[in-house]
Amino acid sequence: MADDGTERFTAWGSRVLGIIGLAIVAVVVVVGASGVADPYHPAAYAVCGVVGLLLWAMLVRPSVGVEDDRLVLCNPFTTVRLPLAAIEQVAVRQWLVVQVGARRYTSSGIGRSRRQALRDDRRGGDIDDIADLSYGGFVEHRILKLAEDARTRQGIAHYSEEQEALGADVRREPAWVEIGLLAAFVVALVVTLLV
């Protein structure tokens, strides 16, 4: 964990694909705008905007991090901030699932394949050599450890009423920039198709 209380967990596979996709969209826009190829219909630029924004939102934006005593789950169009001490369970399969009280919160920012999950699960509770875990397994155990440390610091027992009460402090924030840009590109697409 960094000195300022932050820690980031990043799965680079989807981010690399997203960045490659964004680069292709940028090349298409530059080729069309420069006049190298036949002129594009104006709707093509709006389509490029929608595709680029969806690549960003679905592949690049999703991430998982810790800021102070909160787990931060950045999803395509929302950010969820959960108190670490409120976390009851964590599971990383195809995506990250965090249970707080009766609610489950997910993030596609971290995941692991079925094969990795089976291999990690065969180790059971024996995580003496955490380097042998997949990255998703490492993140799962790291978040569980951070949640346990937060409960210890705050004097909260696992599965207690105090822990359940902390679940009310979960904050969900819309990703207004991405939502606004998507709406603008969709409106531009409709206008250019109707003109």
Q: What is the pLDDT of residues 153-169, one digit of tens each?
A: 999 999 999 999 999 99
CA distance 58 to 63: 10
Helix (H) / strand (E) element for 184: namely: helix 176-194
pLDDT at 126 over 80: no
DSSP structure class, residue 130: G
Please give the pLDDT value at position 58: 96
Please give the pLDDT value at position 125: 56
φ, ψ of residue 127 in degrees (nearest 5): -120, 40
- Lowest mean pLDDT, pick from 89-93, 116-120, 135-139: 116-120
Tell the residue number behind the tokens 């976390």, with chain if given: 87
Cβ–Cβ contacts within 10 Å for residue 120, how many?
20
The overall average pLDDT reported for the chain is 92
3-state secondary structure of 68: coil
CA distance 24 to 31: 11
**Distances in Å between the alpha carbon of 53 and those of 35, 44, 140?**
24, 14, 29
Please give the pLDDT value at position 51: 98
CA distance 82 to 100: 8
Please give the pLDDT value at position 20: 97
pLDDT in tens, 66-76: 999 999 999 99
